[in-house]
Amino acid sequence: MATALRYLNASMRILFFGDIVGRSGREALARHLPALRARLTPDLIVANGENAAHGRGITPKTFAEILALGVDCITGGNHIWDQREAIPLMEREPRLLRPLNAPAGTPGSGAWRGVLPDGRVAVVACLMGRLFMDALDCPFAAAARLAEAHPLGRGAGAILVDIHAEATSEKMALAHHLDGRVSAVIGTHTHIPTADTHVLPGGTAYMTDAGMCGDYDSVIGVRKDIPVYKFTRKLPHAEKMVPAAGEGTACGAFLVTDDATGHARSIEPVRLGGCLPEALPPPQA
């Protein structure tokens, strides 16, 4: 009976971080991740790294730095190709993802199938929205193919989808499109954490945007004087965007899924450090 009860209660714990923005974001992750790992004992750690290298793209050095912290998979978005070094890195490293709905023939992969030490399988995928962004292939069709290829609870114990998009409506629509077929749909790209963490009726956890790992005394991670000047002067050749360098906040979400179904049991926000109010899930037994 005890063995059966343990099986029924078995769960996968997933820690997800929003866009890592520059050095401040990497340092925030390095500062807070060890304590979060001890408190939450995650089985899988995922982070969006498309702004990790000085605010634009990712390099082999920053990729290795993030993995060394214990991150298992790094998702991307519209800036993932900004550093030329990322292209050959993506071709040889399956744990670095570009959008799944990129055109056929684009280097790299949009999904990663990871086998945990205990044999359970987790799938992580990255999609990019099309509203107010470069128009890639349809993210809804790509998401449906992903769910068909990895049946939740059978082909995968958990499926996490990072939807990198500008429009909140597009993110929410994708989550409802996938409800019950993936474990979680979590948004990135706007760098602002939203207060709508909840589990949809079909069992898919949702958050419109996980926020960023970076300095919030800024304009979405950029040194605040630069965009303020651009907005007030409207000069096309103003100073290039530079990441803010103050103390960063580690922002994301903590997800617990049911091993029997792959559906979410809970999702909670994570915010540590910097100038935002703290949000910390309770310790996991």
Query: Contact at 8 Å (CB) between 51 and 86?
Result: no
Residue 19, domain member (yes or no):
yes
What is the band of 238 on the pLDDT scale with cuts at 50, 70, 90?
A: low
3-class secondary structure per residue, 13-77: EEEEECEECHHHHHHHHHHHHHHHHHHHCCCEEEEECCCCCCCCCCCHHHHHHHHHCCCCEEECC
* Lowest mean pLDDT segment, chosen from 39-43, 65-69, 203-207, 237-241: 237-241
**What does the pLDDT average to over 61-79?**
96
Confidence of residue 9 (pLDDT cuts 50, 70, 90): low
Per DSSP, the three-state class of 141 is helix
Res 237: pLDDT: 67
Q: How far apart are alpha carbons 49 and 21 in whole angstroms?
A: 8
Provide the CATH number for the domain around residue 20: 3.60.21.10
The residues that bridge with 109 in the sheet, in sequence order, are 97
Q: Are the beta carbons of 214 and 21 closer than 8 angstroms?
A: yes
The reply to whether 278 falls in a domain is no
- Strand 111-115 relative to strand 121-128, pairing: antiparallel
Catalytic residue set: 79
Query: Do 46 and 16 contact (CB within 8 A), yes or no?
Result: yes
Please determine, for residue 269, whether its predicted confidence score (pLDDT) is greater than 50.
yes
Instruction: Let me know if residue 102 belongs to a domain.
Output: yes
**Helix, strand, coil percentages, rounded to 5, for the chain:** 25, 30, 45
Q: What average pLDDT does range 152-169 have in this prediction?
A: 96
Whether residue 54 is predicted with pLDDT greater than 60 in this model: the reply is yes
Q: Report d(CA 130, CA 152) in Å as an integer.
A: 26
pLDDT of residue 1: 31
Number of domains in the chain: 1
pTM over 0.85: yes
Q: Evaluate whether 160 touches 46 at the Cβ level (below 8 Å).
A: yes
C-alpha 135: how far from its chain's center? 20
Mean pLDDT of the residues in the chain: 93
Query: How far apart (Å, rounded) are the C-alpha atoms in residues 172 and 121?
Result: 26
**In this model, does residue 6 exceed pLDDT 90?**
no
Q: Residue 3 falls within a domain, yes or no?
A: no
pLDDT for 135 = 85
Would 1 be classed as within a structural domain? no
Checking if the pLDDT of 197 tops 70, the result is: yes
Structural domain of 249: 12-271
Does 282 reside within a domain?
Answer: no
Least confidently predicted of 3-12, 166-175, 217-226: 3-12
- Return the structure tokens found at 123: 């799938």
pLDDT of residue 55 exceeding 90, the answer is no
Q: Residue 158, class by beta-carbon neighbours within 10 Å (0-12 exposed, 13-18 middle, 19+ buried)?
A: buried
Q: In whole angstroms, give the CA distance from residue 169 to residue 175.
A: 10
User: Is residue 137 assigned to a domain?
Assistant: yes
At 7, the pLDDT band (50, 70, 90 cuts) reads very low
**Per-residue pLDDT for 78 more than 70?**
yes
Q: Is 276 domain-assigned?
A: no
